């Protein structure tokens, strides 16, 4: 069977009716409509302008004349764009209804883009409406471009615009550039898992939108939550909608910020909105932040303020490396202690974090200017020590 179309089937039915009119006038005996078995199947569909739209082949098929239904084993197909092959599709079984108006693919369905990106859409059941260029996968659907993978309750793929609509709950996995594994998996420690609801992903442009609460979890224990996300997977970023909360590993602290850009290709988080970090024994505030996962560093580039029980520090800029437990304050640094009442000024101060989470400023060799205020009454009662040379 080659190039089967609605027009061709209509002609076959007309020929059958003419043969019946020329037969004997005896009452015809009603017999079941036969099914035809073919050793091979080759279906072709063209667009209105004559360009190739899709092809479907099978090594074995059965055609039911009354229902106009084709059932084929191990089907393979090509989807075209601008008369050029664009996607390859295959499955275990195919059911073609009403001469191609609806196609149902079952069992290990694979839809793979024929380019260097190698975009793949998989599932166990795919309902394809060629006239609408729409495919719906509702059994174990998955889409991946090699770096980003989406699993959802249902995926709807608009073939002509390459828009993927995912209906949640949805799980998105993102493989870090540092990983050599070609696919993000649960066993890959360099992968980030993002869980959310419904949204869209344009596979052609990379634009992604997922309104609603999302949570990102890394294998090292860091957790990131936001009220929604949007971005571009091809350009390597996602914008997290406020409020954004980052929970650091090993209970090191929590960072709360406004709208934040996640540069997942560079493994960085950036924001220009006000930020606050609640560490074990201190609170840090400022305007904006940059977090580099590779170096383990958080930088507050402007209006840094650090508050502890007995002291307060202000500076133009602060940085904290949680790998080395080193804190650096730069630019017009002012450190005020309560007991004793002391003010220390410097252009730069360094500190270390103790085991109990306290930040201790002051390193040997640092140039500082300190002012200590003493209690006059206490000083007057104190006996003077003899002067000796």
Q: Are 278 and 247 in contact (CB under 8 A)?
A: no
Q: Which helix (H) or strand (E) holds 194?
A: strand 191-196
Give the span between the Cα atoms of 339 and 220, in whole angstroms.
39
Q: Are 231 and 262 in contact (CB under 8 A)?
A: yes
Domain that holds residue 43: 1-6+34-140
Q: Which of 274, 282, 273, 317 is nearest to 298 (CA)?
A: 317
Q: Which of 59, 60, 62, 69 is nearest to 37 (CA)?
A: 62
Q: Is residue 101 part of a domain?
A: yes
pLDDT at 94: 94
Q: Which residues is 291 bridged to in the sheet?
A: 269, 298
Give the span between the Cα atoms of 13 and 187, in whole angstroms.
58
* Tokens, residue 194: 């993002």
pLDDT truncated to tens, each residue of the chain (389 aa)? Answer: 444 443 333 222 222 232 333 334 455 554 555 566 767 888 888 888 889 989 999 998 888 888 889 999 999 999 998 899 999 999 999 999 987 889 999 999 999 988 766 789 999 999 999 889 899 999 999 999 888 899 999 999 998 898 999 998 999 988 765 444 445 544 554 578 899 999 999 988 989 999 999 999 877 778 999 999 999 988 889 999 999 999 987 777 899 999 999 998 788 999 999 999 998 888 999 999 999 988 889 999 999 999 998 899 999 999 988 888 889 999 999 999 887 788 999 999 999 888 777 888 865 445 555 555 555 555 555 555 443 32
Residue 33 C-beta-side C-alpha neighbours within 13 Å: 9
Classified as helix, coil or strand, 172 is strand
Q: Are 333 and 317 in contact (CB under 8 A)?
A: no
Q: Is residue 195 part of a domain?
A: no
pLDDT at 148: 86
Q: Is residue 156 part of a domain?
A: no
Q: Are 35 and 64 in contact (CB under 8 A)?
A: yes
Residue corresponding to tokens 């260029």: 133
pLDDT at 242: 93
Give the span between the Cα atoms of 41 and 56, in whole angstroms.
8
Q: Is residue 47 part of a domain?
A: yes
- What is the total count of domains within the chain? 1
Q: Is residue 135 part of a domain?
A: yes
Burial of residue 6, with CB atoms counted within 10 A of its CB: 0-12 exposed, 13-18 middle, 19 or more buried:
exposed
Q: Is the pTM here over 0.85, yes or no?
A: no
Q: Are 27 and 33 in contact (CB under 8 A)?
A: no
* Tokens, residue 76: 């393979």
Q: Which of 221, 219, 151 is nearest to 188 (CA)?
A: 219
Q: Is residue 108 part of a domain?
A: yes
Query: What's the CA dihedral at 142, 94, 114, 154 to 10 degrees?
Result: -20
pLDDT at 290: 94
Q: Which helix (H) or strand (E) holds 342?
A: strand 341-353
Give the span between the Cα atoms of 302 and 332, in whole angstroms.
12
- DSSP letter at 385 equals P
Distances 197 to 120, 123, 187, 235 between C-alpha atoms, Å = 21, 19, 23, 23
78 φ/ψ angles, rounded to the nearest 5 degrees: -125, 130
Q: Is residue 42 part of a domain?
A: yes
Give the span between the Cα atoms of 352 and 299, in whole angstroms.
16
Q: Give DSSP secondary structure letters for 125-160.
A: EEEEEGGGTEEEEEES-EEE-SSEEEEEEEEEEETT
- DSSP letter at 354 equals -
- How many helices, marked H, and strands, marked E, lie in the chain? 2, 32
CATH of the domain at 107: 2.60.450.10
Q: Is residue 324 part of a domain?
A: no
Q: Are 208 and 202 in contact (CB under 8 A)?
A: yes
């Amino acid at each position: 069977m080659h190039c089967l179309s609605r027009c061709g089937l209509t002609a076959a039915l007309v020929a059958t009716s003419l043969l019946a009119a020329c037969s004997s006038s005896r009452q015809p005996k009603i017999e079941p409509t036969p099914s035809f078995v073919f050793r091979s199947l080759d279906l072709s569909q063209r667009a209105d302008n004559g360009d190739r739209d899709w092809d479907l082949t099978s090594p074995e098929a059965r055609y039911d004349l009354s229902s106009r239904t084709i059932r084929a084993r191990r089907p393979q197909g090509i989807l075209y764009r601008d008369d050029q092959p664009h996607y390859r599709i295959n499955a275990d079984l195919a059911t073609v209804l009403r001469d191609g108006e609806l196609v149902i693919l079952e069992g290990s369905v694979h839809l793979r883009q024929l380019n260097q990106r190698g975009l793949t859409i998989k599932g166990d059941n795919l309902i394809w409406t060629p006239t609408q260029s729409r495919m719906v996968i509702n059994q174990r659907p998955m889409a991946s471009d090699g770096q980003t993978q989406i699993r959802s309750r249902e995926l709807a793929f608009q073939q002509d615009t390459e828009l993927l609509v995912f209906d949640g709950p949805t799980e998105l996995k993102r493989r870090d550039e540092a990983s050599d594994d070609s696919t993000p998996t649960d066993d890959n420690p360099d992968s980030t898992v993002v869980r959310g609801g419904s949204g869209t992903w344009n596979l052609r442009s990379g634009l992604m939108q997922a309104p609603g609460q999302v949570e990102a979890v890394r294998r090292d224990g860091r957790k990131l939550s936001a009220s929604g996300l949007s971005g571009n997977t091809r350009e390597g970023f996602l914008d997290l909608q406020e409020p954004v909360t980052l929970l650091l590993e090993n209970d090191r602290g929590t960072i709360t910020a406004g709208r934040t850009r996640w540069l997942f290709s560079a493994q960085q988080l950036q924001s220009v909105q006000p930020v606050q970090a609640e560490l074990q024994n201190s609170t840090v505030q400022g305007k904006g932040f940059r977090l580099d996962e590779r170096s383990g560093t958080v930088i507050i580039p402007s209006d840094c303020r650090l508050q502890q029980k007995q002291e307060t520090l202000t500076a133009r800029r602060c940085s904290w490396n949680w790998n080395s437990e080193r804190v650096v304050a730069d630019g017009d640094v002012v450190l005020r202690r309560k007991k004793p009442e002391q003010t220390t000024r410097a252009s730069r101060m360094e500190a270390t974090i103790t085991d109990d989470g306290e930040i201790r400023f002051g390193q040997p060799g640092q140039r500082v200017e300190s002012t200590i205020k003493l209690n006059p009454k206490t000083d007057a009662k104190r006996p003077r020590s003899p002067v000796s040379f």
